[in-house]
Amino acid sequence: MHELGIVFYIIRDVKKAAQEHGVEHVSAVVMNIGEVSTIVPEYLTDCWRWAADKEELLRGCELKIEPIPAVTHCDGCGKEYPTVAHGKICPHCGSEKTWLLRGNEVEIKEIVVPQSC
């Protein structure tokens, strides 16, 4: 359910971008999805298939996902570490004063448009 809502947002933004660029068909949409963004990539692509095929502009259009690994920064020792493996507590110094550096992205990176030549 969550992913379907996100898919509607992606479709709206892609349609807008396509209109601005005078594009009639999009063959792929590339997403940057952070590892801890709460998006399940498989659900997102499933929902995408269902919703995108209802749109003339996006019929058969593929949703490609480029994952962004989550990285946490520790204020205690200044080091960085992989979030998923270690969570909130810094594996280097044991501090709890940590914050997410990246990995929360839900971003449309680019769209791919076929060109006949």
Partner 1 sequence: MENVKIIEIKKSVFENNDRAADELRGELKNRGVFLLNLMSSPGSGKTTTLIQTINRLKDKIRIAVMEADIDSDVDAIKIKEATGVESIQLHTGGMCHLDAEMTKQGLNNVSMEQADLVILENVGNLVCPAEFDTGAVKNAMILSVPEGHDKPLKYPLMFSICDVVVINKIDVLPYFDFDMEKCKEYIHMRNPKATVIPICAKTGEGVDVFAEWLLNEVSEWKR
> Using CB under 8 A as the criterion, which residues of the chain lie in contact with partner 1 when the complex forms?
1-2, 4-6, 8-10, 12-14, 17, 21, 23, 27, 38, 88, 96, 105-117
Tell me the closest approach of the beta carbon of residue 21 to partner 1, in angstroms.
Answer: 6
Dihedral in degrees, nearest 10, Cα atoms 92, 33, 101, 90: -20
Tell me the closest approach of the beta carbon of residue 54 to partner 1, in angstroms.
Answer: 15
Nearer to partner 1, 92 or 109 (CB): 109
Nearer to partner 1, 77 or 89 (CB): 89
Token pair 């080091």 is found at 79
Supply 81's token pair: 């570490």
Query: How crowded is the C-beta side of 28, counted as CA atoms within 13 Å?
Result: 10
Nearer to partner 1, 2 or 92 (CB): 2
Tell me the closest approach of the beta carbon of residue 32 to partner 1, in angstroms.
Answer: 9
- Find out whether 34 and 103 touch, Cβ atoms under 8 Å: yes
- CB proximity list for 51: less than 8 A, separation 6 or greater: 4, 7, 8, 11
Tell me the closest approach of the beta carbon of residue 38 to partner 1, in angstroms.
Answer: 6
Nearer to partner 1, 88 or 92 (CB): 88
